[in-house]
A and B are shown apart, each in its own frame.
Chain A
Amino acid sequence: GAVVSQHPSRVICKSGTSVKIECRSLDFQATTMFWYRQFPKQSLMLMATSNEGSKATYEQGVEKDKFLINHASLTLSTLTVTSAHPEDSSFYICSAATGQSYNEQFFGPGTRLTVL
């Protein structure tokens, strides 16, 4: 149980285009989902926290107008990278929490974004 999927697993796009990444909890309802970014040889950095039906909370330094997050249902959150640039190339990982505690998260397999 507690499986989280992401789609796509890998995406290559041209600079200036927008890319949408989906995060799904397959066998449980996730009241809270988290989006992380990982640059090469660096650890995961939290970008934002999204709660179903409400606006996402962004970490300091993360542009909310560039990284649009939608958590429309208890099993799906989407991250849209708008007007992507090469510096946005990174590994994006989502996680889902089953309850109120941040500390019971299940992680997705990640999405590799490459912006040319």
Chain B
Amino acid sequence: QVQLVQSGAEVKKPGASLKVSCQASGYNFTGYYLHWVRQAPGQGLEWMGYINPNRGITKYAQKFQGRVTMTRDTSISTAYMEVSSLTSDDTAIYYCARDLRYYDFDYWGQGTLVTVSS
């Protein structure tokens, strides 16, 4: 069965960087785009960007341009998202999600809670 398993919760200091992993199983990793979505406390869902695991091509939301990097390691079917220069506004649950084909996210990771606090 399809599964996306994310890395565990993190606590970071302002100014630090964060790297979250998303390991896929149960399907052809390179056959589906992977997106990253976050939800800050009391806020709605926010799209951050995607990676094409086959070619490594990425697309980031304008808000995160220059601060987010999405990569992948096809040998272990894992995608990564790195966020730099963290502030308290980055405190959120971060999710990876598989794109079925037309930006319809059919499988999601369990979420990674990131807390940014001094």
- Asked if A and B are interacting partners, one says no
